[in-house]
Amino acid sequence: MSWFAQILWDELFGWAQHIVASLPDTPLGSRLRLAFYRSCLKSCGQFTSLSGLWIASPQDVSIGDGVSFNRHVMIDATDGEIRIGKNVLIGPYSVIRAADHVFADQARPIREQGHVGGVISVEEDCWLGSHVVVTRNVTIGKGSVVGAHSVVTKDIPPYSLAMGVPAIVKGSR
């Protein structure tokens, strides 16, 4: 695809995604969001979502069956990959982002140093509370619960209860 065609495609996709994200929180709105994302995700099971779901680089995102996205969730696989297993619950205003800014060179502005990508895997039957942030190169193990407002920067073992900034394991279920 030429650079112009890619820019045009990205622009049209952005407009379409904005419209889809703004659909009302009704069964029809959720079905239309699912249909839209099924057409562009790497793989996509049956999921439900409320308004405001935003997925960047959908070609690098896999979503399993039974996943539920609450309001205004952002999934950003730019420069990386994101895998969300079956029956995962993601609370409102959560952010799952597969890349971080590079900031090692103090002589250059951070915005000019680019990004470094990674892989995020949220295994099946997890619950991420409201406003959770998940950073690159993290696996949240099967059956884990991550408390509201936590920032996950390291792997969480299966069936763990994790919370805090940064998130640490406080127990198991």
pLDDT band per the 50, 70, 90 thresholds, residue 7: confident
Q: Please enumerate in sequence order all residues whose Cβ is within 8 A of that of 107, keeping only pairs 6 or more positions apart, or say none.
A: none
Give me the long-range contacts of 37-45 (CB less than 8 A, separation at least 24).
37/63, 40/13, 42/81, 45/86
Residue in 101, 115, 131, 149 annotated catalytic: 101
Q: What is the pLDDT of residues 118-147, one digit of tens each?
A: 999 999 999 999 999 999 999 999 999 999
101 flagged as catalytic: yes
CATH code of 8's domain: 2.160.10.10
Residue 37 CB-density burial (10 A; 0-12 exposed, 13-18 middle, 19+ buried) = buried
Look at the chain and report how many structural domains it folds into: 1
| Nearest by Cα to 83 from 72, 101, 67 | 67
What one-character DSSP code corresponds to residue 62?
E
Q: What is the pLDDT of residue 6?
A: 83
Lowest mean pLDDT across 11-25, 68-82, 88-102: 11-25
Q: Which domain holds residue 77?
A: 3-172
